[in-house]
Amino acid sequence: GAVVSQHPSRVICKSGTSVKIECRSLDFQATTMFWYRQFPKQSLMLMATSNEGSKATYEQGVEKDKFLINHASLTLSTLTVTSAHPEDSSFYICSAQAGRTEAFFGQGTRLTVV
Amino acid sequence: KQEVTQIPAALSVPEGENLVLNCSFTDSAIYNLQWFRQDPGKGLTSLLLIQSSQREQTSGRLNASLDKSSGRSTLYIAASQPGDSATYLCAVMEYGNKLVFGAGTILRVKS
């Protein structure tokens, strides 16, 4: 299957700083990328949908000013957690699709805010 | 609102057993259904994709079926191995190309 690379896999940051997570589709052009958050022992919660060249669409309850999403090209989307706090500590996963096709996921990023 | 339910929540079987994981969804207006595997602390690995017009897909020891009208899918794993131990997630793709996930089935295959 197609490869989606997510970086970094693990990051620890201080409270109040910002963290950027990258999601790249390595061998296909992703018209849409999705960002999820996963709490321990729970399923994935969709945060936002990102289409190349347009603003991201956020799910209800997700603060768009806190979780900045940029989808500058068909192979790269970034999620920036701004002014991170301990409650933002979580596992973040991206996925990429070319239209209404199979979804491929990144390896995930474990964010710990201390 | 689409809801996806997976049964059982957890399953423990001895090595070599055949097993079935179940997934049900409330709205049959889906484009496709995917089964994923997730290992602890990792991302998701796509196992099988069934388009809404298809009835089943097979890959190696895995077979997934889809009955769209009744809102059900099953994932059949033949001759289970300890390496199959993981969380299995099913997800349906609906309008907007979004995936709606079930809570997952935690599988443990004992050697």
Do the Cβ atoms of B99 and A46 come within 8 Å? yes
B53 touching A, CB under 8 A? no
Give chain B positions within 8 Å (CB) of A102.
32, 34, 46, 49
Q: How far is B97 from chain A (nearest CA, A)?
A: 6
- Print pLDDT tens along chain B (111 aa): 899 999 999 999 999 999 999 999 999 999 999 999 999 989 999 999 999 999 999 999 999 999 999 999 999 999 999 999 999 999 999 877 889 999 999 999 999
Which residue reads 């809570």 in tokens? B103
Contact, A37 vs A44, CB < 8 A? yes
Instruction: Cis check for the bond before A40: say yes or no (omega within 30 of 0).
Output: no
Q: What is the pLDDT of residues A44-70, one digit of tens each?
A: 999 999 988 888 999 999 999 999 999
Spatial separation of the C-alpha atoms in residues A103 and A2, rounded to whole Å: 9
A43 touching B, CB under 8 A? yes
A90-97/A32-38 β-pairing: antiparallel
Do the Cβ atoms of A93 and B34 come within 8 Å? no
Q: CB-based contacts of B78: which residues, under 8 Å, 6+ apart?
A: B18, B61, B62, B63
